[in-house]
Amino acid sequence: MSTRVPYTRPSITELEVGYTTDAARNGWGAQCYDYIIRFESLFRDYIGASHGIATSSCTGAMQMGLAALGIGPGDEVILADTNWIATAAPIMHLGATPVFVDILPDSWCIDPAAAARAITPNTRAIIATHLYGNLCDMDALLEIGSRHEIAVIEDAAEAIGAQYRGRPAGSMGRFSTFSFHGTKTLTTGEGGMFLTSDGDLFERVLTLSNHGRDRSQPKQFWADVVGYKFKMSNVQAAIGCGQMERISELTDRKRAILNAYKARLAHVSGIAMNPEPDHCLSGAWMPTVVFDAATGVSRDTIQAAFATADIDARVFFYPLSAQPMFTPVPDNVNAWSICERAINLPSYHDMTDGEIDRVCAVIEALAAQSSNGPDAAPRD
Ligand SMILES: Cc1ncc(COP(=O)(O)O)c(C=O)c1O
């Protein structure tokens, strides 16, 4: 009997355990921020941003960043229809309106032309989500942002280790957000980071992140504005410090797994995987297979095949606009079509070659069935 292949599992070594134990034993009183300060400094230097604030989640980092830009009722924020709800929820909580646009067929990230068409006098920001470690077209988005004087924000939750023209994902926008959830390339269990090189914006988010207390405020327990409590704990940051010492190992392994899949599946026709154009280095967070529409292979068929093979595979994000709280935008044809025939493959750090083979065998069987079996004919 085979053992189940998980799609994700963190890599925690004695290094992380040692730091966490130290934080639990000694990280109190005057030492209660030591690991947080170290983690913020290691991470912002790695990405190349001037300022970083560790948070309880990427969602919290996004909400504080948007709030610090003054985004609120009547404002619109453009983002790709293909996204996790975490990117849209902060916009809603601030009383602003998310405007969902289509994705590009190859990178599965926001289509810059569609974003430009969606701009109105109320548009305040465009969020560039680097989906599954793929890169958004940042040159085009930054040009649109500067032409219309709109902030371009990077949701880099899934893009640790990714690079665009040699620049790390998360170093190009007005601000960027990262996630260290247990499924991410670098984890602190739950957690996130707000990064920016804009000193004024940093100060505003710092105040918001500290329950609205300005750091120059001499009075204790005195809030200057209503803020948030989205902080990371010292114990979580201790795990993060260990992970940062291993960051190359963690990101290299993600890329090695994606490349192993690509090599192993190169002979299979009718599928596409995470693209890596010359100017991009993929973060490879989620190796993903998209079946061509002509194969007739559907999400249900794919999920059933992986379940039978005892392999955890994750569905491609449904369009956010298809979900009950939003108005459907089926004109976002790529976002609405690709998710119907795509799957995220397992890619955890300690995955074995044998497990990669098992995953590839499922994809090969699905592809063979599509070209030889009853579903062979392309559908209208
Ligand atoms: C693209 C994207 N944005 C935001 C988030 C939210 O991250 P967190 O769970 O740390 O709030 C995630 C997490 O899965 C994500 O994938």
Pocket test for ligand 1, best of 84, 160, 180 (most atoms within 8 A of CB): 84
* Ligand 1-lining residues (CB < 6 angstroms): 57-59, 84, 86-87, 129, 155, 157-158, 179, 181, 192
14-245 placed in CATH 3.40.640.10: yes
What's the mean pLDDT in 90-114? Answer: 98
Q: Is the pLDDT of residue 373 over 60?
A: no
Ligand 1 atom closest to Cα of 61? 11
Architecture of the CATH domain 247-372? Alpha-Beta Complex (3.90)
Ligand 1 atom closest to Cα of 59? 11
Model confidence at 372, in pLDDT bands (50, 70, 90)? low
- Sorted by sequence, the CB contacts under 8 Å of residue 14 that are 6+ apart come out as none
pLDDT digits (tens, 9 = 90+) for 201-224: 999 999 999 999 999 999 999 999
Pocket test for ligand 1, best of 62, 82, 85, 158 (most atoms within 8 A of CB): 158
The rounded Å distance from CA 176 to ligand 1 centre is: 12
Q: Are 307 and 2 in contact (CB under 8 A)?
A: no
Model confidence at 374, in pLDDT bands (50, 70, 90)? very low
What's the mean pLDDT in 222-245? Answer: 97
The rounded Å distance from CA 38 to ligand 1 centre is: 23
Model confidence at 370, in pLDDT bands (50, 70, 90)? confident
Q: Are 205 and 68 in contact (CB under 8 A)?
A: yes
Ligand 1 atom closest to Cα of 130? 1
CA-CA-CA-CA dihedral for 26, 32, 35, 41, to nearest 10: -150
User: What is d(CA 70, CA 174) in angstroms, rounded to the nearest whole number?
Assistant: 14
- Sorted by sequence, the CB contacts under 8 Å of residue 117 that are 6+ apart come out as 101
Are 14-245 and 247-372 equal in CATH topology?
Answer: no
- 3-class secondary-structure state, position 194: strand
Rounded to the nearest integer, the mean pLDDT of the chain is 96
The domain locations on the chain are 14-245, 247-372
Pocket test for ligand 1, best of 8, 59, 79, 178 (most atoms within 8 A of CB): 59
Q: What pTM was estimated for this model as a whole?
A: 0.96
pLDDT digits (tens, 9 = 90+) for 260-299: 999 999 999 999 999 999 999 999 999 999 999 999 999 9
